Chain A
Amino acid sequence: MRDPHFPDRQAMLIIQTALNGLVLGGVYSLAAVGFSLIFGALGIVNLTHGIFVICGAYAAMVLFHVFGIDPFLATVPVAIAFFFIGYAYQRGLIQVAISRASLVASLLVTFGVALIMRNLLQLVFSPDVRTITPSYSFSSLTFGSLRIDIVRLIAVLVSIVFLLLMALVLSKTAFGRRIRATAQQPLAANLSGVNVPHVLGQTFGLGAAFAAASGAVLGIVQPFSPSSEDFWTLNAFIVVVLGGVGSPSGALLGGILLGLISSFTAQFIGPSYTNAVMFLVLVIMLLIRPQGLLGSAFGESR
């Protein structure tokens, strides 16, 4: 070996890569959990998901530039606003389309709305690349030769907090029980006095809220423009296929797996192969375990 410290360096490189993968995965998880919930509970492949994420980023940007609100704090108002937007969108548009045609109609509707929204965002904010840069966005932590930037670290912590929050809501609250009941057996839930259309709307709203909150976090981590929305829809889709549908733990697992795959491929095979490897894993996963690692959180009823 040319370098006497090679084995050490190699070990450090692997640790650094794993660390990068975990951090990236945490962010991916948060960005995917809303998609996962909507897919799991409503059976809707929400192609507007990326738009919610990017709208969250723009909303955080506006709050930051106009009111000076820190993007991490902005996740809360952004999430609340998008809960109501998501609710209205599901009740006013998607549900109407589904009841008049079939579940497949939701694909077309969400795709159409995504196109319209993307162009609206371009009209309002221009197609130029935007970033949110709070004062701490350029700081990093160093442990020996390992480095990790603070923004990403906070982003992961926020992700974990949000994912825990969702897990608690789903498992411990009456609202979560209603969501699970509706997802498993809409008819039985209805007979037990659950207002099913209302719960479906609320679930969609929750998914939209999480997507937008993740957008506010992503806005600090990387540059964004209206055209980056399809990346986040696709990413969410992969995370859900890897981890399983409907649960925060599935999203976390899928996200971290995706992050690690991206990171290790980028480091040891080459960054231009990350997509190829990602989709290869996706295809293999669909062949051997189509329900994802953790399966559907809402049982076998669907």
Chain B
Amino acid sequence: MDRRSFLKATGSSVVLAPAVFSSQANAQDATIQFAGSVPMTGAASETGLNVKFGYDCAVKFINEKMGGVDIGGKKHRVTLNLFDDASDPARATSLIQKQVDEGVNFFLGSFGSNIVLPTCAITEAAGRIMVQAGGGSDLIFTQGRRRVFGLFPRASRQFASTAAMFKTLNPQPQTVMFIYTNDAFSKVSAEGASKELEAAGYKVLNSIALPAQVSDVTDALGTVRAANPDILVCSTHDATSILIARQMVATNTNVKMLYQTLGPQTAAYVEALGKYANGVVGASYWDENAKYKGSIFGSAKDFAEYYRANFNRPLTYHMASGAGCIVAYVEAMKKVGNVTDRNAIRDALAGLDLETFYGRIKFTSQGDGDPVLLGPMVVQRQKGDLAVVYPTEAATAPTLYPALPWQDRT
């Protein structure tokens, strides 16, 4: 290269550089940044990862399939900046504080009320917004926060549909017993459920509280056998639910219905219990056969197909609720017409009433999911699959009740 052509080349690059730079800057402007932490490791990581895969799926779909989302006449891409909080509330709070300090406006939730509660306190105090599908404890919504939204109804209201399902059972169950983990979510959830059932005329026998990390429930099951309830409700997380069910089978502790809030939905549960998982009842906030449709993803079935085509982790409702958080944000931003006015976006979220692939998303005045529109369906493991058994209009199979004794299950 001679001197002249060298000067030409460098000269033109100096002239062109700012143009390239500014077009990059424009591209950076047209993004929506979501941030937060999820448990990718530690005790809550199984479901934490499910929620994360939901977030990932929504971002992938919006960026790759839709080519970004049109807000205020401009295409916006979505970025996701998630960290691993290792299921540790202390670690989560420092991660979220750091992101608040860096100027993140829109937060997605972690999984577990014990993590969501302290982290949403930080985002709220800093005037940032959090939409989450991982914390149901009443405390998240009843302490006067205005910028925290949950896709699930608060814990004490989550049991309404299950109590209604009990009413449809024949013969009518008489007695119910609770085992719950002594944490912010499970305890409130069990207390709420217990009140609901007593009001409905069932006799609630004594409740058993378990520590967060438990290696043996033989004694608790001894109490269950002595009390012999018709229904045993476990308000517990995945690993504890598996432990309880396994030990129930092994000690031949039979109840007419075993209901476990978390666990029966997961692949690990079926792997651990095999045929004994059949008959176990749980809650599900979303089902791919539901007849909902929205502008992002299309129908519930479309979401399931897109997810399975792009991700390997088995689909559970947590993926859908994770993706639902981002859909709620984006729909609110579309209404406002920009991605910077936090107050307007907050108001748009509060006023959201919109059908999406996840269902009709509508929050109560305190920010939790509408208990009727976003309340859980009741599901039961039947022949290895998860069947919706309640509400009746969405049911894919009748409830099997009373469940067969463990040794007769196939």
- Check A275 for interface membership: any CB of B closer than 8 A: yes
Quick check: B222 and A267 within 8 Å, CB to CB? Answer: yes
Quick check: A270 and B209 within 8 Å, CB to CB? Answer: yes
Quick check: B252 and A271 within 8 Å, CB to CB? Answer: no
| Count of A-B residue pairs with CB < 8 Å | 120
Quick check: B250 and A227 within 8 Å, CB to CB? Answer: no
Q: Decide: A138 near B246, CB < 8 A? Known: A131-B271, A271-B214.
A: yes
Q: Decide: A130 near B182, CB < 8 A? Known: A20-B216, A24-B218.
A: no
A127 to B87, CA, bound (A): 11
Chain B hits for A137, CB < 8 A:
246, 250
Quick check: B219 and A263 within 8 Å, CB to CB? Answer: yes
- Check B213 for interface membership: any CB of A closer than 8 A: yes
State the majority secondary structure of interface residues on A.
Answer: helix
The 0/1 profile, CB within 8 Å of A marked 1, for residues 264-295 of chain B is 00001001111010000000000000000000
Determine how close the nearest CB of chain B comes to the CB of A63; give it in whole angstroms: 17
Number of A interface residues, CB 8 Å?
Answer: 44
- Check A122 for interface membership: any CB of B closer than 8 A: yes
The 0/1 profile, CB within 8 Å of A marked 1, for residues 25-43 of chain B is 0000000000000001111
Chain B hits for A266, CB < 8 A:
216, 219-220
Q: Decide: A150 near B250, CB < 8 A? Known: A20-B219, A128-B45.
A: yes
The 0/1 profile, CB within 8 Å of B marked 1, for residues 92-109 of chain A is 000000000000000000
- Check B208 for interface membership: any CB of A closer than 8 A: yes
A234 to B43, CA, bound (A): 16
Number of B interface residues, CB 8 Å?
Answer: 42
Quick check: A272 and B211 within 8 Å, CB to CB? Answer: yes
Stretch at the interface among A9-17, A165-173, A192-200, A202-210: A9-17
- Check B49 for interface membership: any CB of A closer than 8 A: yes
CB contacts under 8 Å to B, within A204-257, are: 222-223, 225-228, 231
- Check B210 for interface membership: any CB of A closer than 8 A: yes
Q: Chain A: which residue is nearest B187 at the CB level?
A: A272
Quick check: B406 and A231 within 8 Å, CB to CB? Answer: no
The 0/1 profile, CB within 8 Å of A marked 1, for residues 185-215 of chain B is 0000000000000000000000011110111
The 0/1 profile, CB within 8 Å of B marked 1, for residues 60-88 of chain A is 00000000000000000000000000000
Q: Chain A: which residue is nearest B214 at the CB level?
A: A271
Quick check: A127 and B41 within 8 Å, CB to CB? Answer: yes
Q: Decide: A129 near B238, CB < 8 A? Known: A17-B222, A137-B246, A272-B182.
A: yes
Chain A hits for B45, CB < 8 A:
122, 127-128, 225, 227
Quick check: B210 and A272 within 8 Å, CB to CB? Answer: yes
Quick check: B46 and A129 within 8 Å, CB to CB? Answer: yes
A34 to B22, CA, bound (A): 64
Q: Chain A: which residue is nearest B274 at the CB level?
A: A133
Chain A hits for B226, CB < 8 A:
9, 13
A119 to B86, CA, bound (A): 11
A178 to B110, CA, bound (A): 53
Question: Closest 5 interchain pairs by CB?
Answer: A149-B250, A127-B45, A131-B272, A272-B209, A272-B182
5 interchain pairs, CB-CB under 8 A = A128-B49, A138-B250, A152-B218, A227-B41, A270-B208
B→A interface (CB under 8 Å) = 40-43, 45-46, 49, 87, 182, 208-211, 213-220, 222-223, 225-226, 238-239, 242-243, 246-247, 249-252, 268, 271-274, 276, 406
